[in-house]
């Protein structure tokens, strides 16, 4: 990933991989948005999660089976 043109690995992967849209939910299971692939996220991530209502949201779980 160090040699990706322009250093934007998300853009590179989005162009190379088939985007698999999934749901973003809060800890209560309420739908709060959508994403373009679980590969965009890591556990504990707070930055670039999406357009969230609350600024202090973070990734607490990734379900690769359901793409959520």
Given this model, what pLDDT does residue 52 score?
Answer: 58
State if pTM tops 0.75: no
Taking only the tens place, the pLDDT of each residue in 49-67 is 766 556 778 899 998 888 7
Rounded to whole angstroms, how far apart are CA atoms 48 and 21?
Answer: 16
Tokens of 11: 């853009």
Given this model, what pLDDT does residue 56 score?
Answer: 77
Instruction: State CA 11 to chain mean position distance.
Output: 13
Rounded to whole angstroms, how far apart are CA atoms 9 and 25?
Answer: 24
Taking only the tens place, the pLDDT of each residue in 7-63 is 777 778 777 777 788 898 888 989 988 888 888 888 998 887 766 556 778 899 998
Q: Domain extents for the chain? A: 19-68
């Amino acid at each position: 990933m160090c040699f990706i043109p322009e250093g934007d690995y998300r853009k590179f992967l989005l162009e190379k991989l088939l985007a698999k849209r999934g749901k973003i939910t809060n800890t209560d299971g309420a739908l709060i948005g959508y994403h373009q692939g679980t590969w965009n996220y890591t556990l504990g991530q707070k930055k670039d999660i999406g357009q969230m209502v609350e600024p202090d949201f973070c990734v607490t779980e990734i379900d690769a089976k359901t793409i959520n």
